[in-house]
Structure 1
Amino acid sequence: MSRTFIVWIVAALVGLGALLWGATFFWQGLGSGLSGHGWFAYILGGVLTLGLSAGLFALSFYSARHGHDDIDPPAGS
């Protein structure tokens, strides 16, 4: 793994943590609390969403770099 890739992963996790931390103030302002199960689901949803988006981006870049997205010439020409 390259150093830049690790920096991007750490930056994404820090951004996710900041977003989760900021959202807690929004929820506290609404006057509703979260149980332990709610917090677990909240954090798990954020981590899985980040993982899914990273995986899909990696697949699209892999596909583009290996020519899977190239337009084939029409048959018979």
Structure 2
Amino acid sequence: MEGMGKGRIAILIALVVILFGAGVWAITFWNETSGVEMSEHGWIALGLGTFFSLVIGCGLMALMFFSSRSGHDEAADPFRKHPPSS
């Protein structure tokens, strides 16, 4: 904690408070909905939503990786120093 300034400590405290609040909310919500049954259509919708979210996320990460490797991103950053061409 030696090199941390007041701003970093404040951000760290805020993030811990948000994490704690999200945990309390999740536990409360889980306990309130414990007796609710989900129909077959609900399980299908949950499965398809999860599957397509993963497909879209993996696809976007792959596009970002290939774009970075092919050099297309370098033209979009005018402040990056380019090595001299020989």
Which category of TM-score, normalised to the shorter sequence, fits these structures?
0.5 to 0.7
What TM-score, normalized to structure 2?
A: 0.49
The answer to whether structure 1 residue 60 and structure 2 residue 85 are counterparts is no
Question: What residue in structure 2 maps to residue 11 of structure 1?
Answer: none
2-side partners of 1:36 and 1:72: how far apart?
48
> Shift of the alpha carbon at 1:71?
3.5
Question: What residue in structure 2 maps to residue 30 of structure 1?
Answer: 34
Gaps of 5+ in 2: 1-29, 79-86
Amino acid at match of 2:56: L
Runs of 4+ in 1 over 6 A off after TM superposition: none
What TM-score, normalized to structure 1?
A: 0.54
Amino acid at match of 1:41: A
Higher relative contact order (CA 8 A, sep 6+): 1
2-side partners of 1:73 and 1:45: how far apart?
35
Gaps of 5+ in 1: 1-25
> Shift of the alpha carbon at 1:30?
1.8
- State the structure with more CA Rg: 2
